[in-house]
Chain A
Amino acid sequence: MLTALSTKRLMRELNQLIKNPPSSHVRLLSHETLDKWKIQIIGADETLYADEKYILQFKFPNDYPLESPEVVFVGDCVPVHPHIYSNGHICLSILYQQWSPALTAEAVCISILSMLSSCTQKKPPKRDAIYVKRTKTASPKKTSWRFDDDNV
């Protein structure tokens, strides 16, 4: 059961996303339930991912936004990127221990877009096969992610 806070937050975020999307590169595809959304992102112009379309699936926990949403790439197409595993798991600190309840689904989409934009070489993560074999379809939130970045 979603808490009163999460219901209120998700309603507001959803409204915002429909009425006032942050950019033409982020588009809400579906929201079967209030806590499960699919959002399409389109690679920014003049980047390695220009015009490429990908689908992000958001699953919001009951105590969202105190807890982070589970965000993975779904569909036939997962971007080839050093921090995106071929099962759709994304190595992005704000999705895990750097999550803040003041972040939103929209902010997450923008971060992922900018992560794609700054990529200079399309290559999968090291040990992608091993990781995917181990995690299978488990939630990426069960993984212990390591981030080596002083800026985070």
Chain B
Amino acid sequence: MSGYNSDGFMDEDYDDDAFEYSEEEEEFGHNAIIGNSAGASQLNNESQTETQPGVSADGPFYENDLLDDTGDFEPVLGSIKKKKAWEVDYMIYDPEELRAKQVNIAARMEPLLGISKEATRLLLRHYFWKEENLIEDYLSDSERTLAKAGLTAYPPPPELKSGDENFSCAICYTDGADESYLALTCGHRFCSDCYRTYVTGKVLEGDSWRIHCPAPKCKVLLGITASRLLLAQDNTVMERYEENLTRSFVNDLDTFAWCPAPNCEYAIECHVPRTAWATTIPVVECKCGNSFCFGCKFDNHLPAPCYMVSRWLQKCKDDSETSNWIKVNTKECVKCKSTIEKNGGCNHMTCRDCHYEFCWICMGPWSEHGQQFYNCNRFNEDSSKEARESISKTRQSLERYIHYFTRYNNHEQSAKLARKLLATTEKNMEQMQRELALSWIEVQFLRDAVDVLSVCRSTLKWTYVLAYYMVADNQKIIFEDNQSDLEMATEQLNGLVEDPIGQDTVDDIKRKIMDKSTYVKTRWETLLRDITTGLQENRWQFETL
């Protein structure tokens, strides 16, 4: 790709697109411009994550703290979590710990480079904290490495000067000996008012250490000390500057990510490499309770890998736009054809008009859904083979998709309905507790059960995405048996949770729910463990996506 520079130099092999345009950029306006330097995309990130909080509850953090000596002592940072087969290692950082992390890396680098503390830190940022690359470049040509980053090894402390009759500010045109001005190592002088306005604007756009001298094409970095000097009167902007520094640290490192929960200020460090995401799902749980995928930042999608999830979600989006066959929450009663709305999480449906009892998933009579014959998770490829041979391929694949989508969607909806039910139940709890003389702890079992339900429904939901892309063979049958076991147990637990609780039944129901919860949890762990190992052993074949 090539473009044009302001010297009037034109590159002849200008043969690629010089632009990228999207509607969304209107929101970011000026900041969304993509440049050509290695840092351009990160620069972009820095301004796009303005919604990310970064202020510590302990108040503003000043760069001085970072410049303090830490010696050889490296404190233990973040919190390490214990691991199950499907869990990955990660650390959670609060804003304070993030700052300490930066101090430690800089302290480690400083004696190796032998340049000022501030230059070390800016150089690290310039290299996106890739220490090996930095050292390699620095050892081969230290002058060039510093110059390319817009740095000087030992810059004189920046100061506001005045008293030069010949001074004229190229931004506001004020001149004279009275004007106070600042010049960085490049010698470009601007009046302190203009400098302040310029830096403030950049900081409010999300910039921090990347702010450079305002002269055309001058790349000399302003640095943290000079920023503090200019913003000495404006604490709010300086606080924002410090926030931006931390934000840029997290954004610049592949191994760090902000928790996507609104207003959450924690960041996660996870070293599962991108290349492993096809078989390992890097799900992390933030201190705020949000469980998400470090890879794609989507909600916890265990046990389906990221690439499948994004493909599936895209498919659902495309299909819901182009066809109107997805009627998620209403169905016709098989017997009397009246419309039935699903209003509970359980699949055992009873028609309001004719009292026909049936299964929401397969529409078959509920009486056939005995404990040992729960066959609703399967797209029975054998029994319907003949019928499908006569229909077109498109129709076939659509039906296959509907089969999996229905089940996927059912778990999503049921999880929501279970949450709703819990809310209603909680409303009645106070009354219940009064009437039945129960303590708060004693009804906690219901909440716990709904938590188990949600986790299982989420897992089940994503197993249908795995199954959709899974090629049918013996291994898939075993997979579906495990899936069926968990699904069965989950539906039973859901049924118990929906049962009305009365004075005489409470003890019985509580015991049943707690027993079932424990059982469901065991099934859930078994399933996840099995899928995790299966994915890593390439036990299943997946349609090439």
Residues of A near any B CB (own CB < 8 A) = 5, 8-9, 12, 63, 65-68, 82-83, 91-94, 96-98, 100-103, 107, 111, 114-115, 117-120, 125-127, 131, 134-135, 141-152
Contact = CB atoms under 8 A, between A and B. Distances in A.
B201 interface: yes
Tell me which of B9, B14, B21, B188 has the highest count of chain A C-beta atoms within 10 A of its own C-beta: B21
Interface stretch (B76-84, B166-174, B237-245, B506-514): B166-174
Given A131-B19, A141-B29, 11 more contacts: A9-B172, A66-B198, A96-B33, A100-B217, A111-B8, A120-B12, A125-B14, A126-B17, A126-B18, A141-B30, A146-B20
A42 to B, nearest CB: 16
A68 B15 CA distance: 27
B389 interface: no
A7 B33 CA distance: 27
Contact of A142 (B3, B4, B5, B21): B21
10 contacts: A5-B172, A5-B194, A8-B172, A83-B18, A102-B215, A125-B14, A145-B18, A145-B34, A146-B19, A151-B7
A74 B287 CA distance: 56
Given A102-B190, A117-B8, A152-B6, A83 B34 contact: no
Contacts of A68: 30
B321 interface: no
Interface in B484-500: none
Contacts of A12: 173
Contacts of B22: 144
A100 B21 contact: no
A152 B217 contact: yes
Contacts of B6: 92-94, 98, 111, 114-115, 152
Contacts of B217: 98, 100, 152
Given A9-B172, A146-B34, A152-B36, A93 B19 contact: no
Interface string B185-229: 000101000100110010000000000001111100000000000
A72 B132 CA distance: 45
A102 B104 CA distance: 38
